[in-house]
Amino acid sequence: MSYPNQNPYGPPPGQQPHYGYPQQPQQPQPPSPYGPYPGGGGMPGMQMPYPTVMPGGVKAARVLLFVLSGLNLIGLVLAVMGLGGVSKASHEVSPYGAQDNITAMNIGKGLLIAVIVIIVVFTAAAITLALQFANGGRGVRTGTIIFGVANIMLSLFTFPIGLVHTILGILVLVFVSKDEGNAWFSRPRY
């Protein structure tokens, strides 16, 4: 007497489910003693679960944005003090003196005002982006990447002084561009 093959993996593909022998209820699968599949939690082709807590790299980028805004505020105070000094010096120059001095003072004032505007814009952008990390989407990530690149570019013009800004901008760019940053900013929001 021959019995049907007791296949522990279920019926072969294309075979009717109740043909040959009675179906047994599905047994729960024990957890794998080898841990999850490398590269993320599940099997290849499975959708990875989205993070529910902000990853460490994203938190670090957020803190670095706040540090950059603090450094920008210090630079803003110094630029305003410099503008006050140049303005005071331009008032002490005789209007009948050398015209080159007056022109140089006006150019100095214009440059300091431009620097102040740039510092205010970058400070506001850094604070806004850092505050949006908890609930922001891909736009916040894209804005942070653009901010990091612009910060690096501007800090290269003031290289010896801007070295700290260059390093912090690179770190922000790296932390937000990593896979964990992508997973955090592309998670579904309800």
pLDDT in tens, 159-179: 888 899 999 999 999 999 988
pLDDT score for 78: 92
Single-letter amino acid, residue 109: K
pTM of the model: 0.66
Q: Check if the beta carbon of residue 188 is closer than 8 Å to that of residue 50.
A: yes
Q: Which two tokens mark 99?
A: 């015209």
* pLDDT average, residue stretch 135-139: 83
Q: Check if the beta carbon of residue 141 is closer than 8 Å to that of residue 178.
A: no
Q: Check if the beta carbon of residue 41 is closer than 8 Å to that of residue 24.
A: no
Considering only residues 98 and 109, tell me which one the structure prediction assigns the higher pLDDT: 109
